[in-house]
Structure 1
Amino acid sequence: MRKTILLTVIIVFGLLSLSVSCKNKEANKPVFALGTAVDSSDFQNLIKVPFDSTLVAPFFEKYPELSRFKSEITVLYRKYQYHYIWYDDSGINEPGNLLYNKISNLESEGVQAKIPYKEKLDDLFLLSNEEQKPNVETELLISALYFFYADKVFKGLDPKKSVEMGWYLPRKKQSYVSYLDTIILNPSLINKDEKEVLGQYYRLREVLQQYREIEQKGGWNTIDLDPEFPSLKPKDSSKTIAQIRQRLFATGDIASDSKSAIYDDELKEGILKYKKRNGFTPDAVITPKHIATLNIPVAARIKTIIVNMERCRWISADMSKAKELIVINIPSFQLTYFKEGKPELISKVVVGKTLNKTVVFSADMKYIVFSPYWNVPRSIIKKEIEPAMAKNPNYLAKHNMEWNNGNIRQKPGPKNSLGLVKFLFPNSNSIYLHDTPSKSLFNEEKRAFSHGCIRIAKPKELANLILKDDKNWTPAKIEAAMNKGEESWYTLKNKIPVYIGYFTAWVDTEGTVHFYDDVYQRDDRLAAMLLEE
């Protein structure tokens, strides 16, 4: 016997620790290491007599809706040598009751699903402790519902379905048998484990609660357009102003509702805040398109929050651990460059139009190309350039293009379609980041104009940040390379992960929710898939 180990037992949920003393019989024997077998001597505070393993198979015959968890249940109880997990000497233990509470409140997790055998579960937990004697059927039912909970809250839709939605970011992989070891060591993680689920999920969960409270209070009324005012500006007076004021108060964009029908400074601040978090140009003018978004029902906003919570389930929380990281969110038309977990640069971007959607995927940036050629894709040659050449034989010369081994390319220079620099993260989708001579497009609110690649408003700033710690480069050298008119490639010393995602609702670090247009019309389809589950 070497030492006494404090063991926090039981698997799940809440701010709970159940410490038991256990003596280790073998030198250097690990306790509850991930994925390892657990010795029965480690269960001194649990029911000491194991149950009959042959009772597992009949359980799934009686409860066929839970049969998809049979293999995980088998692995779990082999690991714990068929000891009861959810009972102590008083009956169903506190972790079991906390799990029941979690399952009974799945809607708070943005999950809309029928809980199998819910009536049976309710009956079990309504019994007094004296009546809750160790029972194999109840034990297996609670464990199966743990895996049901993990499947819905942590894992989400089947990966095949997310691919159907055009989501090619790698899905996280997790064994929820092994994850119990982590929960055993720190049960409170079940409430908020940012190592398991992307932290954004929990911020969206808080906003979901806020919007459901708004819904319970009746939501907000529809704003009527005033025919005398096609647009509203500060100092205008209209009944529509009073309705807008009431609407902004409902979502906290203004602190109080004075009922005033005059467009005053308080309302202006609220409008600017609302526009900022809804992807509009931050000015004080209120037009019909702004009123149209203000009139989106609270139920629709709740649905948007729920589908984006689902997308958070698909992303590995390890993403945020990268030393450097570039994230592009298609609906917000925005790129963020992170270094050491902090945003160092935020830039507007132009993404693919509906017919040429930018793909949701990830890859590692490996190269920066200064003064790049633009190798025109065959699809663009066929659809756009060849018809233009037929009308104008001098089309190539006029656009600084040339033939190159049977293909067409545009020479480096300020009018090159890729601008003065591009950033390559090799991928099968032929997507990359690049500069553009068409700077005016960044002034548009909705910036889906490209053939699929991503144009960035601040390419030089991005190049400077990426190469900041590289002794081979200075801002002056970067500027010179961009304007040299001769293509040059540079291999980055450190690969930088690039994630292209699709989120129509996002909560910033201050807790403010931002909503964006569903530019590729994916939310409704995802919502329908979630209801089918």
Structure 2
Amino acid sequence: MRKFSLFLFLSTILFLTFTISCKKFKDKAGVTPLEKIIEKKEMTFDSSFVSIFFKKHPLLDKYQDEVKMLYQKHQFHYIWYDKNGVNEFGNLLHNKIINIEEEGVLTSIPYRQKLDSIYESASNGKTPNPTTELLNTSMYFYYVDKVYQGLDTESTNQMEWFLPREKQSYSKYLDSLLVNPSLLKKNDKELFYQYYLLKNVLKTYRQIEKNGGWPTIQMDSAIKSLNVGDSSRTIAQLRTRLHLTGELKSDSKSAIYDEELAKAVLKFKETNRNASSTIILPSHLKVLNVPVSERIKTLIVNMERCRWISKDITKAKEIIAVNIPAYQLTYFKDGKPSFQSNVVVGKTINKTVIFSAPMRYIVFSPYWNVPQSIIKNEIIPAIKKDPNYLAKHNMEWNDGKVRQRPGPKNSLGLIKFLFPNSNSIYLHDTPSKHLFSRRDRAFSHGCIRVEKPKELAELLLKDDPKWTPEKIEEAMNKGVESWYTLKNKIPVYIGYFTAWVDVNGNMHFYEDVYERDQPLADLLFEKRE
């Protein structure tokens, strides 16, 4: 009995000593070294589970290499669990995945039922489980692949899109999300800013669709056009339509064309590249009658294109962007549009290429070195008909090629802007100024004609005191070609967006001049797992 009492006494002393020592060495979070060892041991899993998981979940196999690398980095610790079970980030990610259509992604979510069961049952997700862990990680890569990355480069090249794409490390992004899960709620900086503007419009248009869309506006058969002061049932229909998409603040149901409606009509025309006039023609109603489902498809297609643009593009000190369907050039200074010009782009048989290159030179009073294709298909046949064709067009042979001498009738006008590229595309002036008044401006052989080339040159040379507006004008009209090398190379981006939200929040839809939307839509709508 005495031995047992002595043993009990010594055991008590050891227990108290150990407890006091543990308390003494607790860290700031209140966790003892012993608890950390136990936690570390319990919160890891065997590496062999990775290959087992992907054999059972082949629809996620494309992410296997990334998942392996991630867990090798984390020494196969669980990253989706805390002391209460699956952590906050897991719940946020699940919510994002089940609402992935809000991101303009049309897909059947793989293993949706299994994923839902983790988060919709109080008992599931409490105890660390390697299958749950690896499913969460794989679905994270699935989500960022669909939402942030989009179609792969091979697919975008097939869409004739050759703008450079940014390589992202989504494993590093995951590390930051694990530290601060709320970043997933505020992920409006992970993609090109236009994406988020289109996403907001998509939400509005889907609600309109849910409410029944918009009815077709019928033009009275006896009326060819409508203007302020006219009365017609068409006016009441038009009023309802413009109220739905926000051009008109309220719908009075009135059939009389008043000034309030006229302002809404002008706003609509501005965002659809129509002449600034209050007259309503059948062609305008045709645009308004495009079903909301088609507009939604256009928004989704252009959200996908936004995934192919670097999110840091607007951080450049200055860039020049051309949107082909808008027939518009925009010069951005410090991320803000400071200049715009109408442009003429390539015909459908001579499409302007979608790519990027740095502008390096401005050429004043340029020669036009005629491309071999034009010499073969246009000039030689013209010479056969008229031996004086070259002289009449101020052209000459030069080392076996044809070039047009500088002057006001030169096809490049008085100035051109060079960003050397394999597509032989550049910006230039033109003597055919009348083309800029056309609504549709796809007339060139591929290069981009600028309506305001002198103003663009003045902006690009603004910080060079040697180049005053007068000096620029003189060089343009000198009749002798001269080159200027820009001190700072300016990125030029030639893109293709048929839907665009401007700086004032107005939604613009442009005609699909090269018919690129439908092939992309087919690919996106078929990308269901």
Task: State the TM-score, normalizing by the size of structure 1.
Answer: 0.90
Q: Does the CA contact (< 8 Å) of 2:348 and 2:442 recur in 1?
A: yes
- SS at structure 2 position matched to 1:112: coil
Q: Which runs of 5+ in 1 are unaligned?
A: 1-19, 26-40
Cα distance change on mapping 1:296 and 1:22 into 2, 3 Å: farther
Cα distance change on mapping 1:116 and 1:131 into 2, 3 Å: closer
1:425 maps to 419
Q: Pick from 263, 275, 280 the counterpart of residue 286 of structure 1.
A: 280
Deviation, 1:21, is 5.6
Q: Does the CA contact (< 8 Å) of 1:90 and 1:129 recur in 2?
A: no
1:202 maps to 196
Cα distance change on mapping 1:427 and 1:131 into 2, 3 Å: closer
Deviation, 1:183, is 2.7
Q: Does the CA contact (< 8 Å) of 1:368 and 1:423 recur in 2?
A: yes
Q: Does the CA contact (< 8 Å) of 1:231 and 1:286 recur in 2?
A: yes
- Asked whether 1:126 is paired with 2:120, we answer yes
Q: Which amino acid aligns with 2:444?
A: S
- SS at structure 1 position matched to 2:321: strand
Q: Does the CA contact (< 8 Å) of 1:92 and 1:129 recur in 2?
A: no
Q: Pick from 264, 269, 278 the counterpart of residue 263 of structure 2.
A: 269
Instruction: Single out whichever of 478-487 and 260-269 deviates more from structure 2.
Output: 260-269
Deviation, 1:22, is 11
Q: Which amino acid aligns with 1:384?
A: E
Q: Which runs of 5+ in 2 are unaligned?
A: 1-27
Deviation, 1:386, is 1.6
Deviations 1:280-331 (A, max 9, x none): 1221111111111100000000000001000000111121111110000001
Deviations 1:249-286 (A, max 9, x none): 11011111111222211111011000111121221111
Cα distance change on mapping 1:42 and 1:314 into 2, 3 Å: farther
2:402 maps to 408
1:5 maps to none
Deviation, 1:243, is 1.1
1:395 maps to 389
Cα distance change on mapping 1:192 and 1:516 into 2, 3 Å: farther
Q: 1:434-453 counterparts in 2 under 5 A?
A: 434-453=428-447
1:237 maps to 231
Deviation, 1:181, is 2.8
Q: Which amino acid aligns with 1:148?
A: Y
Q: Pick from 304, 308, 311 the counterpart of residue 302 of structure 2.
A: 308
Deviation, 1:185, is 4.8
Q: Pick from 308, 312, 330 the counterpart of residue 336 of structure 1.
A: 330
Instruction: Single out whichever of 311-320 and 223-232 deviates more from structure 2.
Output: 223-232
1:15 maps to none
Q: Distance in 2 between matches of 1:90 and 1:314?
A: 39
Q: Distance in 1 between matches of 2:418 and 2:303?
A: 30
- Asked whether 1:225 is paired with 2:214, we answer no
Q: Which amino acid aligns with 2:396?
A: E
Q: Distance in 2 between matches of 1:101 and 1:193?
A: 14
Q: Distance in 2 between matches of 1:167 and 1:130?
A: 45
Q: Distance in 1 between matches of 2:338 and 2:451?
A: 15
2:291 maps to 297
Q: Distance in 2 between matches of 1:326 and 1:22?
A: 56
Q: Pick from 356, 362, 372 the counterpart of residue 368 of structure 1.
A: 362
- Asked whether 1:508 is paired with 2:502, we answer yes
Q: Distance in 2 between matches of 1:411 and 1:240?
A: 56
Cα distance change on mapping 1:21 and 1:360 into 2, 3 Å: farther
- Asked whether 1:168 is paired with 2:162, we answer yes
Q: Percent identity?
A: 61
1:460 maps to 454
Following superposition, which runs of at least 4 residues in structure 1 exceed 2 angstroms of deviation? 20-23, 41-49, 129-132, 181-196
Q: Which amino acid aligns with 2:106?
A: Q
Deviation, 1:203, is 0.7
- SS at structure 1 position matched to 2:375: helix
1:108 maps to 102
Q: Which amino acid aligns with 2:110?
A: P
Q: Distance in 1 between matches of 2:407 and 2:37?
A: 72
Q: Distance in 1 between matches of 2:362 and 2:39?
A: 60
Task: State the TM-score, normalizing by the size of structure 2.
Answer: 0.91
Q: Does the CA contact (< 8 Å) of 2:125 and 2:132 recur in 1?
A: no
Q: Does the CA contact (< 8 Å) of 1:329 and 1:335 recur in 2?
A: yes
Q: Distance in 1 between matches of 2:56 and 2:140?
A: 18
Deviation, 1:107, is 0.6
Deviation, 1:195, is 4.4
- Asked whether 1:352 is paired with 2:346, we answer yes
Deviations 1:117-174 (A, max 9, x none): 1011111212215762111101100110000000000000111111111100011111
Q: Distance in 1 between matches of 2:345 and 2:310?
A: 24
1:386 maps to 380
Cα distance change on mapping 1:44 and 1:481 into 2, 3 Å: farther
1:476 maps to 470
Q: Distance in 1 between matches of 2:160 and 2:30?
A: 50
Q: Does the CA contact (< 8 Å) of 1:45 and 1:88 recur in 2?
A: no
Q: Which amino acid aligns with 2:293?
A: A
Q: Does the CA contact (< 8 Å) of 1:324 and 1:337 recur in 2?
A: yes
Q: Does the CA contact (< 8 Å) of 1:197 and 1:312 recur in 2?
A: yes
Deviations 1:324-380 (A, max 9, x none): 100000010100001111212111000011000000000000000000011111111
Cα distance change on mapping 1:324 and 1:112 into 2, 3 Å: same
Q: Does the CA contact (< 8 Å) of 2:92 and 2:184 recur in 1?
A: no
Q: Pick from 518, 524, 533 the counterpart of residue 518 of structure 2.
A: 524
Q: Does the CA contact (< 8 Å) of 1:46 and 1:87 recur in 2?
A: no
Q: Distance in 2 between matches of 1:520 and 1:266?
A: 36
Instruction: Give the paired residue count.
Output: 498
Deviation, 1:44, is 11
Q: Distance in 2 between matches of 1:368 and 1:206?
A: 40
Q: Does the CA contact (< 8 Å) of 1:196 and 1:316 recur in 2?
A: no
Q: Distance in 1 between matches of 2:148 and 2:30?
A: 31
Q: Distance in 1 between matches of 2:38 and 2:333?
A: 47
Deviation, 1:405, is 1.0
Larger proportion of helix: 2
Cα distance change on mapping 1:424 and 1:43 into 2, 3 Å: farther
Q: Does the CA contact (< 8 Å) of 1:372 and 1:420 recur in 2?
A: yes
Q: Distance in 2 between matches of 1:21 and 1:157?
A: 44
Q: Distance in 1 between matches of 2:389 and 2:38?
A: 83
Q: Pick from 185, 191, 204 the counterpart of residue 191 of structure 1.
A: 185
Instruction: Single out whichever of 313-322 and 328-337 deviates more from structure 2.
Output: 313-322
2:172 maps to 178
The structure number with the bigger radius of gyration is: 2
